Structure 1
Amino acid sequence: MSADDALRLFDGMPPGSEDESAPLMSATDRIGALPDHILHHLLSFLPAQAAVRTCVLARRWRHLWRSTTGLRIVGLDDEEPVQVQDLRKFMDHLLVLRERTDLDTVQIKFDLFNQDDEPYVNLWTRFAVICKVQVLTLRIHDELEYLDLDDLPLVSRHLRTLNLHGVSLRKTFVDFASCTALANLKIDDCFINFNKISSCSLKHLSITSCQSDLDCRVRISAPGLVSLELEDFIGITPLLEDMASLEAACVDLSVECKDVCLNYGSGVFCGANDNTCKNCVPGSDDCSSDCVLLGGISSAKHLKLISDTGKFIFTRDLKHCPTFSKLKTLLLNKYWCVAPDLDPLSCILTNSPVLEKLTLELFPKGQNPKLEIKGSYCCMERPSAISEHLDIVEVKCDVIDEIIRKVLKFLCALNIRFSFE
């Protein structure tokens, strides 16, 4: 029996009514003998279509699907691909027949869609919010286009986790002022069409592989943030406002970052000559702050800072470098070591007074290093220019080339002695 047939069979049948065609529960049906609240939870792990079909198993199961604690609207049915349009009629029935019990989790996942599907997906998303969903996942995987979410704010005192993938986000939707419990937000492979994301409740934020064609910086304001992941942003780098509670952050400016030094193509290192590149000069864009990234994450205890060569943001930020007063572990890539005088590396070390571990990954991204060089201090007097707590230095690379030798020489001048493994 299909899920649609099952829904039609029990359409209008109130809970508790008899259906002689439904089999009695077997004496060996141990799962069916479990309490309702446990079965509601178990059914929440099934796709909605499969959960509904359980109504024909026995009288005990007739109405259990109506009150599941989770709802999975997914593009698979018995492992066969299902498109949004294939589930429209089924979902129309389900939304009417389902009990208005609260939902812990809702997942909406599809590999294909068309523009006619957008109102349905938006309706299902709003239904989840009405049912006080706590964890909401909307994942649309279509290589050709993004699904456009309606420009209405999310109003929920219950939503704790929001995962978005493959959707186009507009200004009002990301107004999380009414989502006072929202602690976890993940935005992956989305089109960003807003200039600010703000939340006082957010604790964990991940923005990966997203793109924006705006000519201004997207401002991120999350003063209570504990962890941040900002990777492979396509467009102008977002501006990070103060995050005083930040524990850990990973910022990776990929080749798609549009903040490119105009001098880099001629062989001049980004920011090496003040005022010669209008991009590299602070205040040359819409950024009213001295720092785009480093100022906002300066309170972190653990940092991973990676940039493709030729991008100017980190180097420009360093001209107004904040003090990383809590920073204990720091991971940097080759970007920080290509300047002739190693100014970027020297600057960030100078401004990290309690740093305990430094890792330099000087090998191509996506590969594994062939050589790992570990350093430690000798017993000589520690130079005052760097943290007196720095006990572990790791340099990972493929070969010992000119840049590696320059880095090792620089670190040795700080009384670090290396061993090869």
Structure 2
Amino acid sequence: MPPRGNPRKSAPPVTITDQISALPDQMLHHVLSFLPVQAAVRTCVLARRWRHLWKSTTGLRIVGLDEDKYVKVQDIRKFMNHLLVLHERTHLGTVEIKFDHYDDDGDVRYVNLWTRFAMMCKVRALTLHILDDGYLALDDLPLVSRHLGTLDLQSVALRKSLLDFASCPALKDLKMNDCEINADRISSRSLKHLSITFCRSDSDCRVRISAPGLVSLKLEDFIGMTPSLEDMGLLEAACVNLGNGCKDVCLNYDSGVFCGANDDTCKNCVPISDDCSSNCVLLGGISSAKHLKLMSEIGKFVFTRDLEHCPAFSKLKTLVLNEYWCEAPDLDPLACILKNSPVLEKLTLQLFSEGPNHEVEMEGSYCCMERPSAISEHLNIVEVKCNVVDKRILKILRFLCAFNIRFNF
């Protein structure tokens, strides 16, 4: 028989909500920073403890409530008016502003206001993504912050003053994707990592990039004249890909031969302007890198013209090239860069195919026992990746064999 008397009442179970509420305010502020701002504010109805926590979050995510759904700027303007008034001026770790559409100048003013609010709150990482077909124009005012370390921009129109980061001494990471660059210069002495992808410039002058402390660079599919790179003596790795949008096209290009600056019928192959600090557009600035990936569509003359003043790649360890470097009848571009890379250890040629899946992959190595060669004696791996071994590939293989590179078939 069960014992007589009232059994001791069991303690009520501790709910997950109670466990979260037991966390210190500082941790809850951090947790709320991962929520869209609308959801963070709605936590005020959970309990008395939560009523004002959202006002001190360490991050603002001004996006849709659903991670995969963005909202229009006009859908949140009124809400953000109240939020900016009530939110405490605490330091912000991250601010994300993401929209798929904006309608008018009023929307643009609001986005600029929210961006300046983030800077006023000493944000460390700022993301601004607009998924509209156009470009949202940010105010042509310099960013001033001793705290901003990361800036990630998409589909934004950037003008001269904003791209001078002299007043952002902590800026280390800058990403620009599908942006319109209306400036003649991008400059930062503190920048370590720079990524410029699918951006454009309609200027007749090259955008000059000055970032002497840069460690990694990605410049891919720039639309317009190829940007000019100033010396980057600390560079470790760079990927440069000149895509179809590059305007540096030789109008008389024929099977790897460029007309140069002496043919009046081509208005594109012109001498490098006198205001350039070196005779190179790209290669001079990245010549200190240890790892390079240099790709170009056929008919673009920048790399080939740079090779007329080819710098020494004295630290280069790994090099990835595509068929552009092998199109000239005598493969001079490939020979030139190999001869100027004295410590090269690995060469990869991705020929007439796009990765990562290549039908054919061959590996060779440098054989220094046969006779002296003009290329690096440290070259121990040569990879050739293609879809089919045709006459073009066989020509390149024969060329490499002349440099004592042997392949095992």
Fold match by TM threshold 0.5: yes
Structure 2 residue runs without a partner (length 5+): 1-12
Contact 1:282/1:290 (8 A) holds in 2: no
Separation in structure 2 between the aligned mates of residue 72 and residue 211 of structure 1, nearest angstrom: 27
| TM-score of the aligned structures, taking structure 1 as reference length | 0.90
Q: Deviations over 1:29-83 (max 9, x none)?
A: 1001001111000000000000000000001111110101110001345866521
**2:258 corresponds to which of 271, 292, 297:** 271
Which residue in 1 is equivalent to 2:357?
368
SS at match of 2:60: strand
How far 1:279 sits from its partner (Å)? 3.5
**2:238 corresponds to which of 234, 237, 249:** 249
Q: How many residues align?
A: 392
Contact 2:261/2:271 (8 A) holds in 1: no
Amino acid at match of 1:300: A
Contact 1:270/1:315 (8 A) holds in 2: no
Superposition pairs for residues 109-128 of structure 1, below 5 Å? Answer: 109-115=98-104, 116-128=106-118
Separation in structure 2 between the aligned mates of residue 54 and residue 123 of structure 1, nearest angstrom: 25
Contact 2:127/2:152 (8 A) holds in 1: yes
How far 1:384 sits from its partner (Å)? 3.5
Q: Which moved more, 1:380-389 or 1:238-247?
A: 380-389
Separation in structure 1 between the aligned mates of residue 238 and residue 166 of structure 2, nearest angstrom: 24
Amino acid at match of 2:115: T
How much is the aligned-residue C-alpha RMSD, in angstroms? 1.7
Separation in structure 1 between the aligned mates of residue 232 and residue 368 of structure 2, nearest angstrom: 37
Contact 2:255/2:327 (8 A) holds in 1: no
Which residue in 1 is equivalent to 2:74?
85
Q: Deviations over 1:317-364 (max 9, x none)?
A: 000000000000000000000110000000000000000000000033
Q: Could you tell me the percent identity over the aligned residues?
A: 73
Separation in structure 2 between the aligned mates of residue 414 and residue 226 of structure 1, nearest angstrom: 32
Residues 192, 382 of structure 1: CA spacing in aligned structure 2 closer, same or farther, 3 A cutoff? farther
SS at match of 2:247: coil
Q: Deviations over 1:254-309 (max 9, x none)?
A: 01100001211xx2534366723564354368645310000000000000000000
Residues 299, 81 of structure 1: CA spacing in aligned structure 2 closer, same or farther, 3 A cutoff? closer
Separation in structure 1 between the aligned mates of residue 355 and residue 198 of structure 2, nearest angstrom: 15
Structure 1 residue runs without a partner (length 5+): 1-25
**2:171 corresponds to which of 182, 187, 196:** 182
Separation in structure 2 between the aligned mates of residue 384 and residue 227 of structure 1, nearest angstrom: 31
**2:393 corresponds to which of 368, 392, 404:** 404
Which residue in 2 is equivalent to 1:18?
none
Separation in structure 2 between the aligned mates of residue 379 and residue 224 of structure 1, nearest angstrom: 37
Separation in structure 2 between the aligned mates of residue 136 and residue 405 of structure 1, nearest angstrom: 50
Residues 397, 81 of structure 1: CA spacing in aligned structure 2 closer, same or farther, 3 A cutoff? closer
Contact 2:218/2:240 (8 A) holds in 1: yes
Contact 1:382/1:388 (8 A) holds in 2: no
Which residue in 2 is equivalent to 1:135?
125
Runs (4+) of structure 1 exceeding 4 A deviation are 77-81, 284-288
Superposition pairs for residues 220-369 of structure 1, below 5 Å? Answer: 220-264=209-253, 267=254, 269-271=256-258, 275-276=262-263, 279-283=268-272, 287=276, 289-365=278-354, 368-369=357-358
Residues 181, 72 of structure 1: CA spacing in aligned structure 2 closer, same or farther, 3 A cutoff? same
Residues 279, 231 of structure 1: CA spacing in aligned structure 2 closer, same or farther, 3 A cutoff? same
Q: Deviations over 1:206-240 (max 9, x none)?
A: 00000110000000000000000000000000000
Amino acid at match of 2:85: V
SS at match of 1:417: strand
How far 1:376 sits from its partner (Å)? 1.3
Separation in structure 1 between the aligned mates of residue 356 and residue 94 of structure 2, nearest angstrom: 37
Q: Which moved more, 1:363-372 or 1:129-138?
A: 363-372
Contact 1:217/1:286 (8 A) holds in 2: no
Contact 1:221/1:241 (8 A) holds in 2: yes
Residues 379, 195 of structure 1: CA spacing in aligned structure 2 closer, same or farther, 3 A cutoff? closer
Q: Which moved more, 1:285-294 or 1:182-191?
A: 285-294
Separation in structure 2 between the aligned mates of residue 42 and residue 393 of structure 1, nearest angstrom: 49
How far 1:415 sits from its partner (Å)? 1.2
| TM-score of the aligned structures, taking structure 2 as reference length | 0.92
Separation in structure 1 between the aligned mates of residue 83 and residue 358 of structure 2, nearest angstrom: 53
SS at match of 2:42: helix
Separation in structure 2 between the aligned mates of residue 62 and residue 400 of structure 1, nearest angstrom: 69
How far 1:114 sits from its partner (Å)? 1.4
SS at match of 2:289: coil
